[in-house]
Amino acid sequence: MAGEPDVEEVEASPSTREKILDTAESLYARFGFAGVGMRAVAESVGVSKSALFHHFPSKRELWAAVHERCFLEFDARLEAADAHARDAHERLRGFVESAIDALVENPARAPLLLRSLFEVDNEEPADQAARAVLQRVLARVAAGLEQGMASGELRRAPVQHTVQTLIGMTVFHFATGEFGEELFGAPLYSAAEIRARKDHVIDFIERALRASND
C-alpha cells in the first residue's frame, strides 16, 4: 500500500458530506469525541449510519475532518487579516477581530478548538493533518507579534506566552457557553456582547503590549 489513503479529497456530492460535517461539528463541540456516537450523528443528519461510513472511513477520521475544516477557516481569516495590516497594532487588532468573527460565526468552534488541545489520543495519525493547520495558525500569530516587537512597535514580551494569552482571552471566553452566560447575565453571542468582548480584548492587550515610551 504505497499511496496515501487521501480520504479527504473524494469531492462527493457536497450536500450530504457537508451536512455530516456541520452536524458532527456541533455534536462534538457539546459532547466530545467519546460522547457522540455515529448513530447520533446519522440520526441528526437524517441519513443512515452506513452513509456516514461511506463518506468517512472511521469515527476518528470524521473527528479529524471536522477539526481540519474548522482550523482551515481560522487560517484563512487570519491570513487575510495579516495581509491587510499595515502596522503591528493594526495587525494585532485584526487578529483579534477576525479570530472572534470566526468563533462567533459558529458557536461550536470555540469548544471544538479547546477540545482539540487536550482531547487527543496523541500519535493518532488521523488527527495530524488538522494538527498541522493549527500549528500554522499559531505560527502566524507568533510571527506577527515577533515582527511588532522587532520593529519596536510592541513592547518586548515572551512571544509564546503572549500567544497562549491571546488564545485564552478569545477562545476560552466563547467556549464557556451557558456557564458564561449565567455569569454575564447576557447571551455570549449577541452582537452587543461580541462587540464588548472584542473591545475588552483589544484594549487589554494594547495596554499590556504597548511600547513603554508610547
Partner DNA sequence: CTCCCGTCCGACCGGTCGGTCGGTCCGAAA
Partner DNA sequence: TTTCGGACCGACCGACCGGTCGGACGGGAG
Does residue 59 belong to the site contacting DNA (CB under 7 A)? yes
Number of residues this chain uses to bind DNA (CB under 7 A): 23
Q: Is 143 in the site for a second copy (CB under 8 A)?
A: no
Which one of residues 101, 150, 157, 195 is an interface residue with a second copy (CB under 8 A)? 157
Q: How far is the CB of 19 from DNA (least distance, A)?
A: 9
How far apart (Å, rounded) are the C-alpha atoms in residues 54 and 61?
A: 12
As a three-state string, the secondary structure of 17-86 is: HHHHHHHHHHHHHHHHHHHCCHHHHHHHHCCCHHHHHHHCCCHHHHHHHHHHHHHHHHHHHHHHHHHHCC
Binding region for DNA (CB under 7 A) out of 21-29, 46-54, 157-165, 199-207: 46-54
Binding of DNA by 60 (CB under 7 A): yes
Q: Which stretch binds DNA (CB under 7 A): 48-56, 66-74, 137-145, 175-183?
A: 48-56
Q: How many whole angstroms separate alpha carbon 198 and alpha carbon 151?
A: 25
Residue 5 binding DNA, by CB under 7 A: no
Which of 47, 72, 129, 138 is the binder for a second copy (CB under 8 A)?
A: 138
Tell me the β-bridge partners of 154. 210
Long-range contacts (CB closer than 8 Å, 24 or more residues apart) made by 114-117: 114/171, 114/172, 114/175, 115/28, 115/29, 115/32, 115/33, 116/67, 116/71
Residue 151 near which of DNA, a second copy, none (CB within 5-8 Å, type-dependent): none
Among 31, 32, 38, 176, binds DNA (CB under 7 A): 38
Task: Cell numbers for 189, please give them.
Answer: 453571542
CA distance 90 to 211: 15
**Residue 103: which of 113, 90, 93, 92 has the closest Cα?**
113
Residue number with CB closer to a second copy (4 or 178): 178
Its sign, for the CA torsion 105, 110, 113, 115, is negative
9 binds DNA (CB under 7 A): no
Sole binder of DNA in the list 21, 24, 27, 36 (CB under 7 A): 36
Q: Which residues bind a second copy (CB under 8 A)?
A: 29-35, 111, 114, 117-120, 122, 138, 157-158, 160-165, 167-173, 175-180, 183-184, 196-197, 200-201, 203-205, 207-208
Q: Which residues bind DNA (CB under 7 A)?
A: 10, 12-13, 15-17, 36-40, 47-51, 53-55, 57-60
